[in-house]
Amino acid sequence: MGKTLVLAFYITICCIAFVISKIVISVLIYRRWKRKKVVFEDGFSGGKMVLFRASAMQSLKSDTFLKKTLKLSNKDIIGSGGYGTVYKLTVNESIAFAVKRLNRGSADRDRGFERELEAMGDIKHRNIVTLHGYYTAPNYNLLIYELMPNGSLDAVLQGRSMEKKLLDWPFRYKIALGTARGISYLHHDCIPHIIHRDIKSSNILLDQNMEARVSDFGLATLMEPDKTHVSTLVAGTFGYLAPEYFDTGRATAKGDVYSFGVVLLELLTGKKPTDEAFIEEGTKLVTWVKAVVQDKKEVYVIDSNLGCCPTDEINNAFSIALMCLEPEPSMRPTMVEVVKMLEQIKNNEVVKET
């Protein structure tokens, strides 16, 4: 009787394990299928369009989409950066995309396009802009993203895209936390891990709910799990780069943490790290804020548009920013720790140095 029971127990365990393994395999196959591509060749211009299979793309006919993409003109431009121009592609009243055009010809730009595909091809996270597909032609490449209706954080902070006063402390806190979660996902959950290398307010886009989405992976570096750094040529944006990067040329996750610290200061003070006033005075946003915090005068430097906000929350946010901006990289928290500390702010817990 005893033996029969033991046997029945083992058989049950085996059956459950079998069913669970089948479910896991099915989920993996489904996820891979979802990311499968629909490829559309364009005989006329010699280009190739690849659309990732996702719900947003399913209702679209690739040839209609391709025709609309090829018709983009100056009137559709919504932004431009050092590497390319961004257009709004309207499919119909309810569906629109952002299309970034990168002219080919320089190895730098081609490499940026490849990096973006490598890094973003498989990512799906609520705080990272989704890449829906791409188009590659002999003279240029296009990247097709979901459209972020509220534009970039720097435009909002500088009052270029919507009323700055709308961006009060609860919104800024939400943006800081969302950005931190997005970077934390890249650093800790993606395999291989991803170092963004160009975290700055113009690369943080805002969706219809003012939720932050990290974008622009043109400089991103994929890092094998056992590595701590990747050697690169100095690239990134002045004002956001960690000091050690100039000496070592090494891209590390702690470099992204530093850049995030600068963005957090921008959110708190409303000042641009590249503000000419700092250059004229021979200082930097980071140095200026450090002196202010040392004198316990945070309240005098916060952006007046933050509205009425709890002082302890603001002081804690300043402390987190300064931890991220530690000159010694090993003293900076990881992005997982940053997320935790930011979450503690709303739980009224005192943020402690890590």
CB 175, min distance to ligand ATP, A: 15
CB 149, min distance to ligand ATP, A: 7
297 is an annotated ligand-binding site residue: no
Q: What are the phi and psi torsion angles at 4 (to 5°)?
A: -60, -40
Catalytic residue among 198, 216, 256, 303: 198
Q: Say whether residue 214 binds ligand ATP (CB under 6 A).
A: no
Q: Report the alpha-carbon distance of residue 47 to residue 60 in Å, rounded.
A: 19
Which amino acid, 328?
E
Q: Which stretch binds ligand ATP (CB under 6 A): 48-56, 140-148, 181-189, 225-233?
A: 140-148
> Which of 159, 307 has the CB closer to ligand ATP?
159
CB contact set of 85 (below 8 Å; sequence gap of 6+): 77, 79, 100, 101
Active site residue 198: yes
CB 139, min distance to ligand ATP, A: 18
Which residues in 12-38 are b (16+ Cβ under 10 Å) and which e?
eeeeeeeeeeeeeeeeeeeeeeeeeee
> Which of 48, 88 has the CB closer to ligand ATP?
88
Binding-residue pattern over the window 142 to 181 for ligand ATP, x denoting contact by CB under 6 A: ---x-xx--xx--x--------------------------
CB 153, min distance to ligand ATP, A: 9
Q: Which stretch binds ligand ATP (CB under 6 A): 12-20, 53-61, 73-81, 286-294?
A: 73-81
Q: Say whether residue 119 binds ligand ATP (CB under 6 A).
A: no
CB 122, min distance to ligand ATP, A: 18
> Which of 129, 351 has the CB closer to ligand ATP?
129
Q: Which stretch binds ligand ATP (CB under 6 A): 65-73, 195-203, 249-257, 328-336?
A: 195-203
Q: Say whether residue 215 binds ligand ATP (CB under 6 A).
A: yes
Nearest residue by C-beta to ligand ATP? 81
Q: Say whether residue 203 binds ligand ATP (CB under 6 A).
A: yes
> Which of 157, 320 has the CB closer to ligand ATP?
157
Q: Which stretch binds ligand ATP (CB under 6 A): 141-149, 169-177, 273-281, 321-329?
A: 141-149
CB 211, min distance to ligand ATP, A: 13
SS (H, E, C) the chain: CHHHHHHHHHHHHHHHHHHHHHHHHHHHHHHHHHCCEEEEEECCCCEEEEEECCHHHHCCCHHHHHHHHHCCCHHHEEEECCCCEEEEEECCCCCEEEEEEEECCCHHHHHHHHHHHHHHCCCCCCCECCEEEEEECCCEEEEEEECCCCCEHHHHHCCCCCCHHHCCHHHHHHHHHHHHHHHHHHHHHCCCEEECCCCCHHHEEECCCCCEEECCCCCCEEECCCCCCEECCCCCCCCCCCHHHHHHCEECHHHHHHHHHHHHHHHHHCCCCCCHHHHHCCCCHHHHHHHHHHCCCHHHHCCHHHCCCCHHHHHHHHHHHHHHCCCCHHHCCCHHHHHHHHHHHHCCCCCCCC
Query: Given candidates 72, 79, 95, 174, which one binds ligand ATP under the rule CB under 6 A?
Result: 79
Binding-residue pattern over the window 98 to 117 for ligand ATP, x denoting contact by CB under 6 A: x-x-----------------
Of 336, 156, 160, 345, the C-alpha closest to 260 is 336
Q: How many residues bind ligand ATP (CB under 6 A)?
A: 23
Active site (catalytic) residues: 198
Residues that bind ligand ATP (CB under 6 A): 78-84, 86, 98, 100, 129, 145, 147-148, 151-152, 155, 198, 202-203, 205, 215-216
Q: Pick out the residues of the known binding site for ATP.
A: 100
